A and B are shown apart, each in its own frame.
Chain A
Amino acid sequence: MSPNLRKTHNGFSIYLLIVISLLLISLPENISHSIKLTVASPLAPVQKTVSGTGNFFSNGIKKVFSIFGSADEANRLQKKVFSLENEIIRQKNTINLLSKKLVTLSKFHKNWAEDEKPSIANIIGYDTSNLRKSIVIDIGKKHGVSVNDTVVFETALVGRVTFAGTSTSRVMLITDPASNVPAQFLQSRIQGIVKGESNAICSVKFIPRQERVQEGDKVITSGIGGIFPKSLYIGDVVSIKEKGAQLFKEINLKPRIDLSKLEFVLVIKNRLSEVALQE
């Protein structure tokens, strides 16, 4: 190829790539998600293997370090306490609701509890961006997963499905800056929104400054909006600030689940999308 022709060719390819980039940016979200998961899906089995191997070695190293402190027993007990605490929170909430005579569960919600069939999904990939918090799980449409399905670990909230591919799905974690979860305080029943901040701590928005909130208060899903089921444990309040003449408190919340240490999650079907499909 002559130097002039090569120069023209290079110039043309640069313009072409810029045009393609602009086209990609202007694509609707569902199409871009579809492209992402379709192109990335051949890598999913390799990701699963590498994740599994990585977890195996990571757990192995942790075990080696914890041999001296009979860590196995502590680990087992820790898991049991974790599980029981989650259960207590769930039961406390029910008792609370009964005592205030506010338990008027809809037929829809009752059905949700009766035929709840969560699917287990392995985490096979994480978001490449430091500013976003999402995971890729190894189940998709063919396993019954659909957009807005709730993702939990035990009875604590992890996030929701934002895109379901054929055999993989992307889950937006509650720590993602785009995540907003309608929530309420377990004891005081004050409602607010739990928002991701792209780090290990979330914030609780729209809590009026006159409301009484303490460090350590438990926050659960309120069920408002219909995307997240009611009474899922989200996390505990770690700090509260009241600045100047601001109308709302600045509340930080530590998620119940350490999202960076999860290996698998449970996916619960979103009842609203099912009802909509049936209708």
Chain B
Amino acid sequence: MPWITVISILLCISLIQTTLLFSICIFDVHPDLFLIFTIYFSLNFNPTRSFHVNWATGLAKDLFSSNLFGLNTIMFVIAGYLISIIREEIYRKHLFTQILVTFFISMIYNFISILMLFSTLQSVNFLTMIWKCPTIAVYNALIVPPVFWLLDRLYSPSRFST
């Protein structure tokens, strides 16, 4: 996938994530398109290429968040790395696998995010925030089919090295 396409997709995701997604909040939670894009890219493209894209996706998320700057760049790279370890062992083209991977990666990502938040803001109530992990993970997993379909239409990974 050429960089211009990646940057365009990231710009669109940033725009949608910071504006429209708040209209579809459920239980005060909205889907994380940045993370879903990272998972899509890590499942479909070679690890070196996805490393760079995941880093850029994390940076884009950091730019529009009040979280610690640079944290998501590392977390997304780690998420991509975890997927690259298992991608050859799983049937990654199957929708069910994609939903399952998104669910588990979202759980891990949000759990680590809460831990980081807990360590930086001492006053955070860990127990009241932890319930958010499964909610976000389920929401992300539910939104996988349309988002992956759209990304597949936008750029077929089969045309590039996998």
Contacts and interface: CB of A to CB of B under 8 A. Distances in A.
A78 to B, nearest CB: 20
Nearest to A136: B18
With a 10 A CB-CB cut-off, give which of A13, A131, A177, A260 has the most chain B CB atoms: A131
A43 B22 contact: no
Interface residues of A, number: 49
Interface string B59-102: 00111111111110110010000000000000000000000000
A32 interface: yes
Interface string A198-209: 111001000000
B129 A131 contact: yes
B113 A129 contact: yes
A200 B74 contact: no
Given A51-B19, A177-B123, A195-B123, A128 B34 contact: yes
A128 B117 contact: no
A36 B63 CA distance: 5
Nearest to B125: A197
A140 B64 CA distance: 16
Interface in A111-135: 124-132, 134
B40 interface: no
Contacts of A51: 19
B136 A130 contact: yes
Contacts of B117: 131-132, 177
A278 to B, nearest CB: 30
A260 B34 CA distance: 21
B121 interface: yes
Interface string A234-266: 000000000000000000000000001000000
A162 B61 CA distance: 18
Contacts of A20: 70, 73
A103 interface: no
A260 B28 CA distance: 8
A24 interface: yes
A43 B51 CA distance: 25
A165 to B, nearest CB: 12
Given A177-B121, A180-B123, A197-B125, A134 B66 contact: yes
A64 interface: no
A27 B69 contact: yes
A24 B18 CA distance: 22
B162 interface: no
Interface of A: 10, 13-14, 17-18, 20-25, 27, 32, 35-36, 39-40, 43, 46-47, 50-51, 54, 58, 124-132, 134, 136, 162, 170, 172, 176-178, 180, 195, 197-200, 203, 260
